[in-house]
Amino acid sequence: MTVECIIEDDRWQAAGIETLATRATDATLAHLGLKPGDWDIALLACDDTRIAALNEGFRDKAQATNVLSWPSEERGSEAEGTPPEPPSGDPELGDVAIAFDTCAREAAEAGLSLEGHATHLIVHGTLHLLGYDHIRDGDGDLMESTEIAILADLGIGNPYGGHTVSRMTCDGKD
């Protein structure tokens, strides 16, 4: 298994979140040379109210966000701008939560499809589980270019044409 979806908001069911999540996580793992079936990720598909509560509980930020991630262990790279070491051992990579309301609003504001934007956010969250982040500029550049390449593999265009979702609104591992 690669991704287990827990759907709390039925709008995600209608958007095909299970298919989107499997496609996004499998593409991310494969792009990084990892066999998708060897790793486990849990994805919570929720609304803004739920993600705001999670954001406050885990990050002391009482506001909704698009995506949150909780790696099962620290996997970051010590050298700025270099990829983290691939995971080994325990197949559980961690958990990701994605909020429908924020995702849909961001997609509409940017002129993106909900499916494409949700796929981008799931790729982004999965990269956080694998130790990628955007705290330091070099790491952010690496994460962004990796996202663009994975999304291109999926037939999704560069999402950073005029806005930077990952560095402006993401509240992932960082």
Using a cut of 0.75, tell me whether the model's pTM lies above it: yes
Encoding tokens for residue 170? 């993401």
Any idea what the Cα angle at residue 133 is, between residues 127 and 135, rounded to 5°? Answer: 165
Known binding positions for Zn(2+): 124, 128, 134
- Let me know: does 120 contact 149? Beta carbons within 8 Å: no
Q: Taking residues 46-50, report their average pLDDT.
A: 98
Q: Please report which confidence band the pLDDT of residue 2 belongs to, taking 50, 70 and 90 as the band edges.
A: confident
Q: Delimit the domains of the chain by residue range.
A: 3-168
- Whole-number pLDDT of residue 148: 97
Token pair 């270099």 is found at 82
The topology under which CATH files domain 3-168 is Collagenase (Catalytic Domain) (3.40.390)
Q: Please report which confidence band the pLDDT of residue 171 belongs to, taking 50, 70 and 90 as the band edges.
A: very low
Known binding positions: 124, 128, 134
Q: Which residues contact 9 (CB under 8 A, 6 or more apart)?
A: 45, 46, 47, 50, 100
